[in-house]
Copies of this chain bind each other. A is one copy, B any other.
Amino acid sequence: MTEKEQRKATIYDLSVKSGASASTVSAVLNGTWRKRRISEETANRIILLAQEHKYTANQQARALRSSRSGLAGLLLPIYDTRFFSTMAQTFEAQARKRGLMPVVVAGRRDPEEERRTVESLVAYSIDLLFIAGATDPDGVHKVCARANLPHINIDLPGKLASSVISDNRQGAKALTLAIIRHAQQAGPLTADDVYMFGGRDDHASRERIIGFHAAKAEIFGTCLGDDMESTGYSPSITALAFERFYERHGLLPRCFFINSSVNFEGLLRFMSKHDGEVFGDIVVGCFDYDPFGSFLPFPVYMIRPNISEMLEKGFELLDSAEDAPRIVLIEPQLVLPRTALEGPLDELKDSVTSV
């Protein structure tokens, strides 16, 4: 009420000022007061008082007592990729919509660090965890299981908990078909002209490779050749892979599939080292979406995973609290070259102060 109250108000402060007991105040302010047969009059009085004093419950105390913290965790490998930062943004919005406080953390693609990170989330008694692209989902699962923490895999599946992932196989096939057809417009194409860079031994990469080969088979017939460079999720290693290819062949493949935007950055690094050189009519497909990537000086087809639907589904699965691990596939979107899609940014009401 007065401008200067030094400490944050507690239910005890409100108890004194209202004449009611602390438990009554607590019940009123957490909504259980009808169940506890508090009169509407008392409730209103306390609610008003709470507003005057800008009371907000101490979440630590609440969590300690009720062992529900109101925290919702999202474990990411990294942040600074369009895919993961959009996921963080979307997760934040959806968690808040559910009255949860989002806590986003990064495991940096290191199984040990992932586990430690989740351990520390557990120490904060988070209520649920989304595991997005963990290197070792099942290792993380064990930590969650020990702590009795509801959790779900997003984007990369685990065997021990339910997962919501993109349909990597279909997406990769559609992407590969798209770049092949585009490249064919510039002249005949052989299977050797169609290459893949990036990926490693995880579920997403394996599925994409299957889709990639399925598309090639559909166009060229079965062909098992040397048509891939597995580079992990490292820009610099990907750049080296392009470098090697370039040294061997004197040019880049006419048409290639890049496994993620992180690997795509490797192509940029390669190109900046060869500035001035022209790379002919390459056609690129990238299993990821980035608006700037879509406008590069060569045709770039991209795949945008449906992040918002994946998260939505994830929350649903957690709510339904099924026991048997399920895998839900979400269809990603093929994005044509030079396309600037709308994103979470567009939902902001941004005021323009001068025009």
Residue A125 lies at the interface, judged by CB distance under 8 Å to chain B:
yes
Residue A119 lies at the interface, judged by CB distance under 8 Å to chain B:
yes
Residues of B within 8 A of A63 (CB): 60
Once the chains bind, are B343 and A80 in contact (CB under 8 Å)?
Answer: yes
Once the chains bind, are A92 and B80 in contact (CB under 8 Å)?
Answer: no
Interface hits, A312-355 → B, CB 8 Å: 338-340, 342-346, 348-355
Residues of B within 8 A of A349 (CB): 110
A311 and B30 CA atoms in complex are apart in Å by 37
Interface string of A188-216 (1 = CB under 8 A from B): 00000000000011000000000000000
Segment of A20-28, A233-241, A247-255 engaged in the interface with chain B: A233-241
Once the chains bind, are B92 and A85 in contact (CB under 8 Å)?
Answer: no
Given contacts A64-B60, A295-B297, contact A108 B231 (CB under 8 A): no
Residue A78 lies at the interface, judged by CB distance under 8 Å to chain B:
yes
A148 and B4 CA atoms in complex are apart in Å by 12
Once the chains bind, are B58 and A123 in contact (CB under 8 Å)?
Answer: yes
Once the chains bind, are B85 and A79 in contact (CB under 8 Å)?
Answer: yes
Residue A178 lies at the interface, judged by CB distance under 8 Å to chain B:
no
Residues of B within 8 A of A54 (CB): 146
Once the chains bind, are A268 and B291 in contact (CB under 8 Å)?
Answer: yes
A105 and B93 CA atoms in complex are apart in Å by 10
Interface hits, A276-290 → B, CB 8 Å: 290
Given contacts A296-B297, A353-B230, contact A88 B104 (CB under 8 A): yes
Once the chains bind, are B345 and A235 in contact (CB under 8 Å)?
Answer: yes
Given contacts A58-B123, A268-B340, contact A232 B352 (CB under 8 A): yes
Residue A57 lies at the interface, judged by CB distance under 8 Å to chain B:
yes
A92 and B230 CA atoms in complex are apart in Å by 29
State how many angstroms separate the Cβ of A116 from the closest Cβ of chain B.
9
State how many angstroms separate the Cβ of A30 from the closest Cβ of chain B.
13
Residues of B within 8 A of A268 (CB): 291-292, 294-295, 340
Residue A272 lies at the interface, judged by CB distance under 8 Å to chain B:
yes
Residues of B within 8 A of A18 (CB): none
Residues of B within 8 A of A271 (CB): 295, 338, 340
Residue A29 lies at the interface, judged by CB distance under 8 Å to chain B:
no
Once the chains bind, are A109 and B147 in contact (CB under 8 Å)?
Answer: no
Given contacts A8-B147, A200-B353, A234-B348, contact A104 B104 (CB under 8 A): yes
Residues of B within 8 A of A6 (CB): 148
20 pairs from A and B in contact (CB 8 Å cutoff): A58-B64, A79-B85, A80-B344, A88-B88, A88-B104, A92-B105, A108-B348, A109-B348, A110-B349, A200-B354, A234-B345, A234-B352, A236-B342, A264-B292, A271-B295, A271-B338, A292-B293, A292-B295, A295-B296, A297-B297
- Given A80-B86, A109-B348, A200-B353, 19 further pairs, Cβ under 8 A: A8-B146, A54-B146, A56-B122, A58-B64, A78-B89, A79-B88, A80-B88, A80-B343, A80-B345, A85-B85, A101-B120, A101-B124, A230-B353, A231-B352, A232-B351, A233-B348, A262-B345, A268-B294, A272-B338
